Amino acid sequence: MISKPRGTRDFLPDEMRKRRTLERMFRDIAERYGYGEVKTPVFEHLELFTIKSGEGIIGEIYNFKDKGGRDLALRPELTAPVTRMVIEECHSIPRPIRFYYFDNCFRYERPQKGRYREFWQFGVELIGSDSPLADVEVISLAHTMLDKTGIEFDLNIGHVGILRDILSGVEGKNHIMRLIDKKDRAGVEDYLRKTGKDEVLEKVTSLMDMSGSAEILDEARRFTGDSDKIDHLKTVAEHLHNLEIEFTIDLGIARGLDYYTGVVFEAYAEGLGAQNQICGGGSYRLAHLFGGRDIPSTGFALGFDRIAELFEYSPEKKLMIAIISVPGFEKHALKLASKLRERFCVITDVMERSVKNQFSHASSAGCDYAVVVGRKEIETGELTIKNLNTGEQYLMTPERFIDSLIQSASE
Ligand code: HAM
């Protein structure tokens, strides 16, 4: 037997129904905020992802050479592809540009619960503004989407620029940011002590401890002096308070990708184990790296698979009819099925089973009605109908049967 590659999954109809419901919900909200859907290629030039994604991502890229010897990669995320597309295709679209996407991504990670090698992201990018209002818009959009799922989650907001200012001049800044991001306090202490940066260590640990406290931004201002970045984050926070969005300010959020420049945010859910991050995003500047003019942008991606895992969903049951064809009357059965399919879900026999076996299949397939088509039905114009939920059996013309179904659906 050939099985699926490690870290990938198959999805059966029940799971797909749930995923499509969630997807429709997110699409609907994104459209209400004025975002339009985009699609980029599943693979891109490897370089697109190595320029500014950060060590974490680079080690996880699925890359390969094609037959022409080009270095290509399956996309690990969509922010870099969307930025590339904007530079290549969107010269005449007025700014800001509001795009959303729902697509699969690939990362060569060690698979575990909630962490896959193929996974889906639902994301948005708001391109062309560095105003705090742009951050407020995408954070409130992420919040609205998560809220609508009914999942319990915490939202944390930080600013990578503030953290970078505090660490300015310190060797191994990116490494320390990664340790702070992982909340690895012992690792941070160890590293900064070794490099003799006790003063920086004090500031960093103090801000790590103050995560969630109302005074954290005043404390940060003491460390960095007056700063536009702190004012920016304060403005974002005020707007979010005004929108009654609950969040925690956490200046330790560094994010796994290196392209962020400003406000960053993450959402975490309970009940997922170690992989509890269900949303990540923030503001970034990538365009100049791909040969375009610098464009301030902001966005986020929801971890669709993790959210689907927590999403409680009871499928709406669709009425299903089985047409039971008496051998020799298949032609009539297929005609009736076509007519009924204008309004209802209908299955017909394709196994050339006996009438008895067609009935038992209709029951085990969860059909609500079995409708017999044979000589008697053709001669009298009345169908034999069995309600498989109640066991009742009766005769009815096709028209009356359709009317009765429409009527019971509207009750
Ligand atoms: P990210 O935090 O790397 O950000 O990914 C976003 C979300 O994708 C994560 O919060 C997580 O829920 C989900 N995710 C990541 N890796 C996996 C995996 N191996 N299996 C399942 N789910 C996973 C980005 O990708 C940025 N492009 C987000 C962004 C958009 N920033 C600005 N705009």
Question: In this model, does residue 70 exceed pLDDT 70?
Answer: yes
Structure confidence at residue 289 (pLDDT) = 82
- The yes or no reply on domain 13-310 and CATH 3.30.930.10 is yes
Question: Is 56 close to ligand 1, i.e. is its CB under 6 Å away?
Answer: no
Q: Tell me, using a 6 A CB cutoff, whether residue 125 lines ligand 1.
A: yes
Instruction: Say whether pLDDT at 157 is over 70.
Output: yes
- The finding on whether 303 has its CB within 6 A of some atom of ligand 1 is yes
Domain ranges within the chain, ordered by starting residue: 13-310, 320-405
Provide the mean pLDDT of the chain. Answer: 94
Other C-beta atoms lying within 10 Å of the C-beta of residue 18: 18
pLDDT tens figures, 23-41: 999 999 999 999 999 999 9
In the reported structure, the alpha carbon of residue 143 is separated from the centroid of ligand 1 by a whole-number distance in angstroms of 16
pLDDT at 405 over 80: yes
Ligand 1: centre distance to CA 32 (Å) = 23
Band of residue 258 on the pLDDT scale cut at 50, 70, 90: confident
Helices (H), 100-227: 132-149, 160-166, 173-181, 185-194, 198-209, 216-224
**Lowest-confidence pick of 218-222, 242-246, 279-283, 364-368:** 218-222
Q: How does pLDDT run across 267-301, given as a tens digit for each residue?
A: 999 989 889 999 999 999 988 888 888 899 999 99
Which atom from ligand 1 is nearest to the alpha carbon of 78? 27
CA–CA dist 362, 365 (Å, integer) = 5
Scanning 33-172, the segments in alpha helix (DSSP H) are 47-50, 55-59, 79-89, 132-149, 160-166
Q: Is the CB of 281 under 6 A from ligand 1?
A: yes
Same fold, 13-310 and 320-405: no
Identify the residue whose tokens are 């818009």. Answer: 137
Distance 77 CA to ligand 1 centre (A): 7
- Nearest one of 151, 191, 150 to 170, comparing CA atoms: 191
The predicted pLDDT at position 55 comes to 59
Q: Residue 54: its pLDDT value, please?
A: 60
| CATH class entry, domain 320-405 | alpha beta
Query: How much is the pLDDT for 376?
Result: 97
Q: Decide whether any atom of ligand 1 lies within 6 Å of the 60 Cβ.
A: no
Instruction: Decide if 315 contacts 14 (C-beta within 8 A).
Output: yes
Cα 280 to averaged position of ligand 1 atoms, centre (Å): 6
Q: What is the pLDDT of residue 219?
A: 92
The reply to whether ligand 1 has any atom less than 6 angstroms from the CB of 81 is no
Q: Which ligand 1 atom is nearest residue 115's CA?
A: 20
Cα 300 to ligand 1 centre (Å): 8
Neighbours of 323 (CB within 10 A): 26
